[in-house]
Structure 1
Amino acid sequence: MRFASLARRVVDAGNCRSYSGHGGQLRTALFFPGHGVQRVGMTAQWLEAFPGTAKPFLEETDEILGCSLSRIIAEGPNSKLDASTNAQPAIMATSVMIMRILESEFSFKTKQEIDVTLGHSLGEYAALISSGHLEYKDALKMVRGRAAIMEECSMKAKEETGDRYGMVALVCVPERLENLVTSIHEFLGYGSDGVKDDSSHVPAIEQVQIANINSSNQIVLSGSLPRIRQLLIQIKEFGGHDPRAVEIKSDSPFHNPIMMPAKDYMRRALAKTNIRFPGDMPCVSNVSGRPFGSKHDLIEKLSGQAVNTVRWWDSIKYLHQEAGVRRWLGVGPGKVGRNLVGKEVGRVQSKTGGVWAITDPKEVETTLQDFLDKAAAG
Structure 2
Amino acid sequence: MTKTAWVFPGQGSQAIGMGIDLFDLPEATIKFEQAEQILGWSIPELCQHPEDKVSRTLYTQPCLYTIESILADLVRSRGQQPDFVAGHSLGEYVALYAAGVFDFETGLRLVKQRAELMDQASDGMMAALLGFNQEQLEQQLQQTPDVVLANDNNAGQVVISGTPAAVETVLSQVKAKRAVKLNVSGAFHSPLMAPAAAAFQTALDEIVFNAAQVPVLSNVDPTPSVDAAVLKTRLSQQMTSSVRWREISLRLPEEGVSRVVEIGPGKVLTGVIKRTCPSLTLENIGSVAELPLL
TM-score normalised by L of structure 2: 0.91
**2:236 equivalent to 1:310:** no
The equivalent position to 1:108 in structure 2, one of 66, 79, 85, is: 79
The equivalent position to 2:127 in structure 1, one of 151, 163, 168, is: 168
How far 1:293 moved relative to its partner?
A: 6.1
How far 1:186 moved relative to its partner?
A: 1.8
Cα deviation digits, residues 89-135 of structure 1 (max 9, x gap) = 1111110111222234xx3342xxx1100001110000000011121
**Unpaired stretches in structure 2, ≥5 consecutive residues:** none
1:43, 1:74 within 8 Å by CA — same for their partners in 2? Answer: no
> Radius of gyration: which is bigger?
1
- The whole-number CA distance in structure 2 between the counterparts of 1:255 and 1:314 is 16
Q: Which amino acid aligns with 2:57?
A: S
2:209, 2:232 within 8 Å by CA — same for their partners in 1? Answer: no
1:62, 1:70 within 8 Å by CA — same for their partners in 2? Answer: no
1:149, 1:261 within 8 Å by CA — same for their partners in 2? Answer: no
Equivalenced residue count is 294
**2:245 equivalent to 1:326:** no
**Unpaired stretches in structure 1, ≥5 consecutive residues:** 1-16, 18-25, 158-164, 190-206, 373-378
RMSD of equivalent CA atoms: 2.2
- The whole-number CA distance in structure 1 between the counterparts of 2:204 and 2:192 is 20
- The whole-number CA distance in structure 2 between the counterparts of 1:343 and 1:75 is 34
More strand by share: 2
- In structure 2, the residue matched to 1:262 is 196
Pick closer, same or farther for the CA change 1:315–1:82 going to 2, 3 Å. Answer: same
Pick closer, same or farther for the CA change 1:183–1:129 going to 2, 3 Å. Answer: same
- In structure 2, the residue matched to 1:66 is 40
- In structure 1, the residue matched to 2:216 is 283
- The whole-number CA distance in structure 1 between the counterparts of 2:27 and 2:180 is 39
How far 1:266 moved relative to its partner?
A: 3.2
- In structure 2, the residue matched to 1:186 is 142
How far 1:34 moved relative to its partner?
A: 0.6
Equivalences for residues 1-378 of structure 1 within 5 A? 27-48=3-24, 51-78=25-52, 80-104=53-77, 107-110=78-81, 114-154=82-122, 157=123, 165-172=124-131, 176-177=133-134, 179-188=135-144, 207-234=146-173, 236=174, 241-242=175-176, 244-277=178-211, 279-292=212-225, 294-320=227-253, 322-346=254-278, 354-364=281-291, 368=292
State the identity %: 29
- The whole-number CA distance in structure 1 between the counterparts of 2:251 and 2:75 is 27
Q: Which amino acid aligns with 1:170?
A: L
- The whole-number CA distance in structure 2 between the counterparts of 1:343 and 1:333 is 20
TM-score normalised by L of structure 1: 0.72
- The whole-number CA distance in structure 2 between the counterparts of 1:318 and 1:172 is 23
Cα deviation digits, residues 214-247 of structure 1 (max 9, x gap) = 002111011233431222223x4xxxx5453122
Q: Which amino acid aligns with 1:56?
A: I
- The whole-number CA distance in structure 2 between the counterparts of 1:244 and 1:34 is 21
Q: Which amino acid aligns with 2:21?
A: Q
How far 1:333 moved relative to its partner?
A: 0.9
